[in-house]
Structure 1
Amino acid sequence: MAVPTMTTTEVSTSLDERSREVFRRIVESYLEYGDPLGSRNLSRLLPMALSPASVRNVMSDLEDLGLIYAPHVSAGRLPTQLGLRFFVDAFMQVGDLSEEERDTIERQIRPKGSDLPMENMLTEASRMLSGISRGAGLVIAAKNDTTLKHVEFIRLEPTKALAVLVGERNQIENRIIELPAGITASQLTEAANFLNANLAGQTLGELRGQLERLKELVASELDALSSDLVERGLAVWSGGETEEKPTRLIVQGRANLLEGLAGSEDVDRLRMLFDDLERKESLIEILDLAESGPGVRIFIGSENKLFSLSGSSLIVAPYRDGDDRIIGAVGVIGPTRLNYSRIVPMVDYTAQLMARLSRSGQ
């Protein structure tokens, strides 16, 4: 049966009071319990007097609109993806958080009196969102424009070294880099000394801007091998000269999504989802989704291709720096029967909090 293409307003105006009430009860039951709701049980829940037969007639009309379906013969009804979208757009009421709820979020992400680095707070934000949603908490974060304090190269193999880069707040980033062929231990030390003498105390943006000018100094003070290593070190720290999109993905609560899966096919779809998330283009896609509109965005099932196979929903909101540039996003991945009205304000406030913490440097 072809499902008619109608806007939320058109669907809403086509429903009378009892149809809206039947539909709302079916969706709310699904979001709370996950099970189909039958006409007999539904007739007991309604505020108006409707027999099971009358309820079945209303259900048939809702099926014709593509809002609900029967998963099995003689079963009750569940909302379709279109029905969930209609419910979110037309019925869902999102309230503001209480002061107590805001305080709880803040205490979990940044306990009072603590001096956690930003990386730790991002992890706590992801863990908190996972806890409240019983889904997976998601944080995508841009590299901070950190001031560099110290650089060191440690040889691991003849062609590999560990680049240790320390920020002014003692943030440490370790990356394995490929070494130019034939480089010696003294050249590793020489390159690190050059970086520490010329680049310490500057932000990453400033370092990238000075790289061309420094090439002349490198050519006059260091040989070609050390010059190559200096450039590699800068690229490792900055994430590459042309990279503008965030590269850090933090996901907490993956095991939550495994609960209640019916079989191996569901588990395989979920694994595919997380494999996709590990790929950089998927991070960029999620951030683009967050950027495509103000505030919190809700994507249900196949409304975006990343989640179409796993049948998951994504609730996501961007957060911004002091110049109103989007520098990351926070969100929740979960089954389509998420508690949207509770999670949306939580995600929204978490995004506001991460923006505030990013602007203050904590």
Structure 2
Amino acid sequence: MKEGSRLLDEMNDRSREVFRRVVEAYIESGEPVGSRTLTRTLSEKVSAATIRNVMQDLEFLGLLDSPHVSAGRIPTQLGLRMFVDGLLEVRDLDHHDREKLDATLGAGAGDVGGLLDRVGAALSGVTHGASLVLTPKHEAPMKHIEFVSLGHDRALVVLVFADGHVENRLFAPPPGQTPSSMREAANFLNAMIEGKTLSELRRDMAREIAARRQELNSLAAEMIETGMAMWEGEADNSARLIVRGRANLLGGEAEAEELDRIRTLFDDLERKRDIAEFLQLAETGEGVRIFIGSENKLFSLSGSSLVVSPYMNADRKIIGAVGVIGPTRLNYGRIVPIVDYTAQLVGKLIAERSER
């Protein structure tokens, strides 16, 4: 049993209600909650002194914290996790939110990329937070690959797909690469590329490298391995991360320290160092998942929360994810149904496009 669940089970009714009221008030206001505030909202009429004692016990358990002396309490990360897992009341999707999402996502035809750009804008607008959208991989068969040196520390890989789709991606080549070693790497790949998707090519290439490593110039082998690491890691087989609504997190009355954490978050996102992990978070199962603060490596430095859900194609295969990120005091009860509905809607629209 998780620590939070055990603590919740061991609480009496009064402690559980005080804890729930503190978290709900903090999520609504962002301010520490004092005992006198709670005396006006509790169903049971008790004194402020009694409530203070309960809050001290909750602080001792690691569920609440005192940012300043005599300034009330705020929930800790453990407290927020326990609230989300055991006490959160998820609302039905508000019909105004549903109408906004339907109108935005249903507007216009266009390609999948355009649809997902609108998804990001819609989520950001409806939630007044920042939205994250991980677009699908391009899984058409490959036709041609070419490496182009742009300097000692930069190179370009040109990917040509059989359906006419072309992608150009920058990456950092291993030290010591030469134009000839890049040509050798490209020739090696092109000899085995026909009819294969990028993921299939990577699988076959790994076997080929193991079997023919001695036949390859060592620099060329290193070049190929780096290229594949780039495809599967940073770029995630051409997955693209769309970030919308940054200004929603940077505006308002946020303190300087919080702004620094949020800027750190977006710096990390813009570098896309952990983009593959974003999809992996959602691939462990269907439905909405919530990551609070340091629970998620991708957002741990920012002290933010992520509400994320995968979306699927017509074959029920997870191909991407949508999410909302904001401060840990996100209105989880409202955000969860918005993210869930958006993910289902995106999957439906993509499936409809594939059937045309």
TM class, shorter-length: 0.7 to 0.9
- Choose which of 337, 347, 350 in structure 1 pairs with 2:339: 347
- Is contact 1:246–1:284 with CA below 8 Å preserved after alignment? no
Q: Is 2:255 aligned against 1:255?
A: no
Q: Which residue is 1:53 aligned to?
A: 49
Q: Which residue is 2:119 aligned to?
A: 125
- Is contact 1:291–1:326 with CA below 8 Å preserved after alignment? yes
Q: Which residue is 1:65 aligned to?
A: 61
Q: Shift of residue 295 of structure 1?
A: 0.9
Q: Aligned pairs, how many?
A: 314
Deviations for 1:122-158, whole angstroms, at most 9, x for unmatched residues? 011111111222221000112334599x99x9x9x9x
Q: Which residue is 1:11 aligned to?
A: 7
- Is contact 1:134–1:334 with CA below 8 Å preserved after alignment? no
Q: Is 2:33 aligned against 1:37?
A: yes
- Choose which of 78, 89, 96 in structure 2 pairs with 1:82: 78
Correspondence list, 1:100-139, <5 A: 101-111=97-107, 114-139=108-133
**Which runs of at least 4 in structure 1 moved beyond 6 Å after TM superposition?**
160-168, 174-178, 205-209
* SS of equivalent residue, structure 2 residue 336: helix
Q: Shift of residue 292 of structure 1?
A: 2.2
- Is contact 1:301–1:307 with CA below 8 Å preserved after alignment? yes
* SS of equivalent residue, structure 1 residue 45: coil
- Is contact 2:140–2:161 with CA below 8 Å preserved after alignment? no
What CA distance in whole angstroms lies between the structure 1 residues aligned with 2:129 and 2:39? 32
- Is contact 1:136–1:332 with CA below 8 Å preserved after alignment? yes
Deviations for 1:211-248, whole angstroms, at most 9, x for unmatched residues? 99xxxxxxxxxxxxxxxxxxx9xx99xx68xx864520
Q: TM-score, normalised by structure 2?
A: 0.73
Output the aligned Cα RMSD. Answer: 4.0
- Choose which of 99, 118, 135 in structure 2 pairs with 1:141: 135
What CA distance in whole angstroms lies between the structure 2 residues aligned with 1:206 and 1:77? 50
- Is contact 1:69–1:78 with CA below 8 Å preserved after alignment? yes
Q: Which residue is 1:186 aligned to?
A: none
Q: Shift of residue 335 of structure 1?
A: 0.3
Unaligned ranges ≥5, structure 1 = 183-198, 213-231
- Is contact 2:310–2:322 with CA below 8 Å preserved after alignment? yes
**Residues 167 and 330 of structure 1: is their aligned pair in 2 closer, same or farther, counting only changes over 3 Å?**
farther
- Is contact 1:71–1:77 with CA below 8 Å preserved after alignment? yes
- Is contact 1:68–1:79 with CA below 8 Å preserved after alignment? yes
Q: Which residue is 1:190 aligned to?
A: none
What CA distance in whole angstroms lies between the structure 2 residues aligned with 1:319 and 1:339? 22
What CA distance in whole angstroms lies between the structure 2 residues aligned with 1:41 and 1:70? 15
Correspondence list, 1:1-362, <5 A: 7-97=3-93, 101-111=97-107, 114-145=108-139, 245-259=237-251, 260-263=253-256, 265-361=257-353
* SS of equivalent residue, structure 2 residue 37: helix
**Which is worse superposed, 29-38 or 89-98?**
89-98
**Residues 99 and 40 of structure 1: is their aligned pair in 2 closer, same or farther, counting only changes over 3 Å?**
closer
Q: TM-score, normalised by structure 1?
A: 0.72
Q: Shift of residue 23 of structure 1?
A: 1.0
**Residues 85 and 77 of structure 1: is their aligned pair in 2 closer, same or farther, counting only changes over 3 Å?**
same
Deviations for 1:294-331, whole angstroms, at most 9, x for unmatched residues? 31110001112222221000111111223332211100
**Residues 163 and 45 of structure 1: is their aligned pair in 2 closer, same or farther, counting only changes over 3 Å?**
same
What CA distance in whole angstroms lies between the structure 1 residues aligned with 2:197 and 2:71? 60
- Is contact 2:307–2:336 with CA below 8 Å preserved after alignment? yes
Bigger Cα Rg: 1
What CA distance in whole angstroms lies between the structure 2 residues aligned with 1:29 and 1:69? 14
Unaligned ranges ≥5, structure 2 = 181-193, 206-223
Q: Shift of residue 110 of structure 1?
A: 2.3
